[in-house]
Chains A and B, each alone.
Chain A
Amino acid sequence: EDKVVQSPLSLVVHEGDTVTLNCSYEVTNFRSLLWYKQEKKAPTFLFMLTSSGIEKKSGRLSSILDKKELFSILNITATQTGDSAVYLCAVSQGGSEKLVFGKGTKLTVNP
């Protein structure tokens, strides 16, 4: 059965801290791995990763994929209270638009 596992499930940090969120997967016919941020509404797209070892970066957020070890990490540096959200990891498979989601990591950034 295809599965995506995120850890930790919950994280509380102080503003300015750096956090690392983990995502491991076991799926057939892997195509890409995606990260989304969800506040109390629809998930918003952060990154799509298809190749191992190539870091994607957007401001204070960055992500990398390891297709050999079947995992990805999402790093957030100098966290701000606006980073508080649930971060979702999803994997797509060849031949389908279906996304298999992890349960998410709930990040709380305290001032």
Chain B
Amino acid sequence: KAGVTQTPRYLIKTRGQQVTLSCSPISGHRSVSWYQQTPGQGLQFLFEYFSETQRNKGNFPGRFSGRQFSNSRSEMNVSTLELGDSALYLCASSGLWETQYFGPGTRLLVL
């Protein structure tokens, strides 16, 4: 079974721009969660989706948004980028209430 895939793997943006990251879950998994990882804060939960519905959201500003499509693929969007948004963005997929498996991440650098 193919693992979780994320695109792009690396991204460089400038302040004020917006960015869209994509995640394709493991086949059969309907739950997708997103995390931000930084050296200072560690892994922090952004949001989770199940069957196209956002079920939970972390403590991030409204500039961070996401969605899930009918094929379970998910995207997250960050608008009006700030320097502090530079991070590794990880996507994880799972069956309902099962182990989460992580993708390779998208490393975002905001200049």
Q: Point out residues on A near B: beta carbons under 8 Å.
A: 31, 34, 36, 41-45, 48, 88, 90, 96-104
Contact = CB atoms under 8 A, between A and B. Distances in A.
Contacts of A42: 4, 90, 102-105
Chain A contact residues, majority secondary structure: strand
B102 A44 contact: yes
Chain B contact residues, majority secondary structure: strand
A104 B42 contact: yes
Question: Which residue, of A36, A42, A97, A101, has the highest number of chain B Cβ atoms within 10 A?
Answer: A97
* Range for the number of chain B residues in contact with chain A: 20 to 34
Contact of B58 (A31, A41, A98): A98
B31 interface: yes
B100 A99 contact: yes
A104 B94 CA distance: 22
Contact of B43 (A31, A41, A97, A101): A101
B42 A101 contact: yes
B70 interface: no
Contacts of A104: 42
A96 B99 contact: no
Given A99-B45, A99-B92, 11 more contacts: A31-B97, A42-B4, A42-B104, A43-B43, A43-B102, A45-B101, A90-B43, A97-B33, A98-B45, A103-B42, A104-B42
Contacts of A102: 42
A48 B97 CA distance: 12
B104 A98 contact: no
Contacts of B97: 31, 97
Interface in B51-110: 55-56, 58, 90, 92, 94, 97, 99-105
Contacts of B48: 96-98
A90 B102 CA distance: 13
